Chains A and B, each alone.
Chain A
Amino acid sequence: DVKVTQSSRYLVKRTGEKVFLECVQDMDHENMFWYRQDPGLGLRLIYFSYDVKMKEKGDIPEGYSVSREKKERFSLILESASTNQTSMYLCASSTPLFEQFFGPGTRLTVL
Chain B
Amino acid sequence: DQQVKQNSPSLSVQEGRISILNCDYTNSMFDYFLWYKKYPAEGPTFLISISSIKDKNEDGRFTVFLNKSAKHLSLHIVPSQPGDSAVYFCAATKRKGTGNQFYFGTGTSLTVIP
A residues with a Cβ closer than 8 A to B are 4, 9, 30-31, 33, 35, 40-45, 48, 50-51, 54, 56, 58, 90, 92, 94, 96-105, 107
Contacts and interface: CB of A to CB of B under 8 A. Distances in A.
A101 B49 CA distance: 13
Contacts of B96: 50, 56
Nearest to A38: B106
Contact of A99 (B6, B34, B97, B103): B34
18 contacts: A30-B99, A31-B99, A35-B104, A40-B9, A42-B89, A42-B104, A42-B107, A50-B97, A50-B98, A50-B99, A56-B99, A90-B43, A102-B44, A103-B43, A104-B42, A105-B42, A105-B43, A107-B41
B86 to A, nearest CB: 13
Task: Give the residue among A43, A44, A94, A98 with the most B Cβ atoms within 10 A.
Answer: A43
A103 B45 CA distance: 9
Contact of A40 (B44, B97, B106): B106
B46 A100 contact: yes
A66 B103 CA distance: 19
Nearest to B3: A59
Contacts of A44: 104
A96 B43 contact: no
B102 to A, nearest CB: 6
Closest 9 CB pairs of A and B: A50-B99, A102-B43, A42-B106, A43-B104, A99-B46, A31-B99, A102-B44, A42-B104, A104-B43
A42 B100 contact: no
B101 interface: yes
Interface in B82-114: 89, 96-107
Contact of A101 (B32, B46, B97, B105): B46
A100 B100 CA distance: 10
